[in-house]
Amino acid sequence: MVKDQNNTTVDQQEMQYKSGMTRRDSLKLMMALAASALLPAALTGCDNAPVSNTDAGIGAAKASTEHWPELKLSPITATGYGKDPNLILPPESPWPLTLTQAQLTLVAVLSDILVPREGSVPSASEVHVPAVVDEWVSAPYERQQQDRVIILSALAWIDDEAQMRFGKTFVALTKAQQKAIMDDIAFDTAETPAQFKRIAEAFSRFRGLVLAAFFCTPEGIKDIGYVGNVPIGGDYPGPTKEAYEHLDKVLADLGLTEYAYPVQA
Amino acid sequence: MKDFDFEVLVVGSGAGGSMAAYELTKAGHKVLMLEAGRDYDPKTETPMFKRNGEAPLMGAGNSDKDFGFYDATVDGGWSVPNEPYTAAENTEFLWWRARMLGGRTNHWGRYSLRFSEHDFKGKSRDGLGADWPFNYEDIAPWYDKTEALVGVCGTNTGLDDMPPSSDGVLQPPPKPRITELLIAAAAKKLGIPLAPMHRAVLTRPLDNRAACFYATPCGHGCSIGAAFQTTTSLIPMARATGNLQVITDAMVKSVDTDENGKVTGVSYVDKKTSTVHQLKAKVVILAASACESARLLLNSKSTRFPNGLANSSGQVGKNLMDSTGANIGTMVPALKGRPIYNEDGHTANHLFIPWWGHKAQERKELDFPRGYHFEIGARFGEPGAGLQGDFQGYGADLKRQVKHNYGAYVGFALRGEMVPNEHCYMDIDPEVKDKWDIPVARFHWKWSEHELKQIEHGLKTAKAIFAEMGAEVGELPTPEQAILKGGEIIHEVGTTRMGASPKDSVTNQWGQSWDCPNLFVMDGGVFASNPHKNCTLTIMTLAMRNSSWLSAQLKQGAI
């Protein structure tokens, strides 16, 4: 049994995301969490089916009315890396990390809902996205401190919601139950119901951070397709034939063909 | 420096100071250079090829590293530890400084556009601001020499805002990117041309510097010397003459004079020991940056110069100008899902939108007097802490959205000329001193209608170009909302302006102070106006020309 700072109890010590985890460990954890989540879902037989708020779980409350956790966060007092850090060997842990074990595990589960494994492309937690989120919200700078309030509030809201609807923390929910909550908060649009407006906005910030952290990794860079930052001998080759052909089509569609800038083939 | 008998003392190792040191040492003069920051070696300190993901916070900027973790700036940015500046009540001004050998040349954008005859004679044309005390023809050969020495890629476009370089001076520019080609077609439909940017980046090897290999952002610095910075070029070349010595961590406090008002040398604080030292010199050149040099002069008070040195005109600190700036951008639907290729190039604009409105201004069709240009931000960039796009949902579909949007964002950065006005200036804060007991600069700032009208025109023009590309930017902000803060473009100049008369200027056309013949200013402070075209190339060109003149004076015994 581990008591974390939020006084919630994490009773599955082996099912915790740890920052220093190897990818293999992280993968095992996510599989274990998925397996545990699958069990009740399998019982209800609706793991992959669309889930409405009323049938998602066991004695589930209906989708909640508006609520918001008013967190009292102790301020980050660490100093930054300063104005002359070593740029060749960047500091690995520039300031103390502040997420609790339970928060980190929740971040890992949410990150993998946002960025799941797809074939050979790893999931977010497999490439240590939760550690980047932890570094981000623990950083002693203004923008990160603003994000810390938003993201920690979102994490607390998600667990509160899970408790209200299903009587468990989000991590302990079935995949279907998790999906039910996600479907309510992961779309920040004009149609978002009033009671989810604030969490949808906060979750957007979390999603942006997770996506950035994922696509910054070597695996993410490969996945998005960025092919630069490699030395080229001789002149810059410019666009590919395929890229020029696409441009020609775009110019034609926009009625701009006659205004095309001359390029040397 | 007891064993080094120098003739000229240069304060500052950035664009102006290094060019002065290069020109003078090459002509056989012994030069001592003082730099307020630490020594810096791009060959060993530049984070070449480093990925954002390897840096804290994915490389994102913050108050320690304003332009991102890997930005080359050392001990600086919008704030310098222990060296504050202030702003008068109800005004705001941002002052970017670096405390390192090479100064801000280690991080600058390297855009290198010549000023034209039009730029040097704005007042003759519209009655505003001040003319420069020479004509374009006087400086054109020096632009050629500077461009050839620095290494500038680009082409002669024939456009009226881009005077040509002599044959063989410019290096070939890189090919345009797809995004730039789309913008070029859309703009051309509206009668607005795009042109190859001129940039101080080598596309052919020069001296000991390699040609660009089209990778790793120039703002990180450039260990191979392709992107120009004085620490890989002018400073080592000047040192190789055997005539240059450099003292780093030397913060100059005052320029000292004798009873006749002649400059005798400077006093500086050795930051490592916090001790003050005096140095004697035959000639002092200030190139500490426009506002740092003006601060130094205003702080160099004596009974003979109660308002500060070289300030009989009262113009020191006045006429402070920055470039205007505004950003506008959006996702361009037609670019979504386009074929991916390596779009790094030299990591900045291959094409840009030069000012096209001279004729319209002549015809009085525009309600603002001075021009602007657009720089373009649009390419398959390396992923970092921010992803462009309004993403929804989760899972595989979310990732598809990110990939579909990749490389489809187009941003325009407006850079325009402001007209100097009485509300924009710097003086010395009567109360605040820095760690070295030196009174700090205090800024005063207010944009005028000239700048706001220009921004308004720029926003409307950008919106029209986006519309031709099938993209909607939505409701435009007001110019007051859109215009960036004074100083934010880091083109601050004018605080020791040159002119034809000692009555209304601080130096003559050679950067020689009217009041003290052995005191020169060779940074952006001497600018009589601030054309929209990024100041560094002209700072270097003036420093070369004026150091050459100074050398001749020294050899003739005139100084």
Confidence band for A92, pLDDT divided at 50, 70 and 90: confident
Instruction: Specify whether B172 is located in the same domain as B69.
Output: no
Instruction: Specify whether B461 is located in the same domain as B528.
Output: no
DSSP string, A211-250: HHHHHTSHHHHHHHT---SS--SSS---S-HHHHHHHHHH
Instruction: Specify whether B7 is located in the same domain as B62.
Output: yes
ipTM score assigned to the predicted complex? 0.95
Distant-in-sequence, close-in-space partners of B202: CB < 8 Å, separation ≥ 6: B151, B153, B171, B209, B210, B211, B212, B225, B226, B227, B228
Instruction: Specify whether B89 is located in the same domain as B238.
Output: yes
A260 to B181: CB separation less than 8 angstroms, yes or no: yes
Which chain A residue has its CA at the smallest distance from B72's CA?
Answer: A87
Instruction: Specify whether B88 is located in the same domain as B219.
Output: yes
- What is d(CA A204, CA A212) in angstroms, rounded to the nearest whole number? 12
Instruction: Specify whether B392 is located in the same domain as B312.
Output: no
Whether B162 is in a domain gets the answer no
pTM for this entry: 0.94
Instruction: Specify whether B131 is located in the same domain as B55.
Output: yes
Supply the range of the domain harboring residue B138.
1-154+202-321+423-447+493-559
Whether B246 is in a domain gets the answer yes
| Domain end (from B482, B501, B530) | B482
B392 to A188: CB separation less than 8 angstroms, yes or no: yes
Instruction: Specify whether B509 is located in the same domain as B387.
Output: no
CB atoms within 10 A of CB B76: 26
A 67-106 near B (Cβ less than 8 A): 80-85, 87-88, 90-91, 94
Instruction: Specify whether B331 is located in the same domain as B262.
Output: no
The one-letter amino acid at A125: S
Instruction: Specify whether B185 is located in the same domain as B300.
Output: no
Whether B160 is in a domain gets the answer no
Instruction: Specify whether B183 is located in the same domain as B110.
Output: no
When divided into structural domains, chain B yields a total of 2
Q: Which residue of A118, A188, A215 is in closest CB contact with B387?
A: A215
Q: Which residue of A81, A113, A211 is in closest CB contact with B56?
A: A81
A84 to B351: CB separation less than 8 angstroms, yes or no: no
Instruction: Give the pLDDT score at A18.
Output: 73
- Average pLDDT of the residues of chain B: 97
- The model's pLDDT over B376-429, given as tens digits with 9 standing for 90+, comes to 999 999 999 988 888 999 999 999 999 999 999 999 999 999 999 999 999 999
Q: Which residue of B49, B80, B339 is in closest CB contact with A242?
A: B339
Candidates A250, A251, A258, A264, partner chain B, best to mutate (most B CBs within 10 A) = A250
Distant-in-sequence, close-in-space partners of B366: CB < 8 Å, separation ≥ 6: B357, B360, B457
Which chain B residue has its CA at the smallest distance from A135's CA?
Answer: B57
Query: pLDDT in tens for each of the 559 residues of chain B?
Result: 568 999 999 999 999 999 999 999 999 999 999 999 999 999 999 999 999 999 999 999 999 999 999 999 999 999 999 999 999 999 999 999 999 999 999 999 999 999 999 999 999 999 999 999 999 999 999 999 999 999 999 999 999 999 999 999 999 999 999 999 999 999 999 999 999 999 999 999 999 999 999 999 999 999 999 999 999 999 999 999 999 999 999 999 999 999 999 999 999 999 999 999 999 999 999 999 999 999 999 999 999 999 999 999 999 999 999 999 999 999 999 999 999 999 999 999 999 999 999 999 999 999 999 999 999 999 999 999 988 888 999 999 999 999 999 999 999 999 999 999 999 999 999 999 999 999 999 999 999 999 999 999 999 999 999 999 999 999 999 999 999 999 999 999 999 999 999 999 999 999 999 999 999 999 999 999 999 999 999 999 999 999 999 999 999 999 9
Instruction: Give the pLDDT score at A34.
Output: 62
CATH number, domain containing residue B129: 3.50.50.60
Instruction: Give the pLDDT score at B485.
Output: 98
Helix A129-137 crosses helix A194-215 at what angle (to 10 degrees)?
A: 110
A90 to B55: CB separation less than 8 angstroms, yes or no: yes
The whole-angstrom distance between A1's CA and the closest CA on chain B is: 32
Instruction: Give the pLDDT score at B546.
Output: 98
Whether B159 is in a domain gets the answer no
Instruction: Specify whether B264 is located in the same domain as B389.
Output: no
Q: CB–CB of B274/B268 below 8 Å?
A: no
Whether B548 is in a domain gets the answer yes
Hey, what are B170's tokens? 């410019």
Whether B161 is in a domain gets the answer no
Q: CB–CB of B204/B29 below 8 Å?
A: no
Which chain B residue has its CA at the smallest distance from A231's CA?
Answer: B213
Hey, what are B418's tokens? 């402001």
Hey, what are A50's tokens? 């669309």
- Average pLDDT of the residues of chain A: 85
Q: Which residue of A226, A236, A244 is in closest CB contact with B382?
A: A226
| Secondary structure (H, E, C), B474-494 | CCCCCHHHHCCCECCCCCCEC
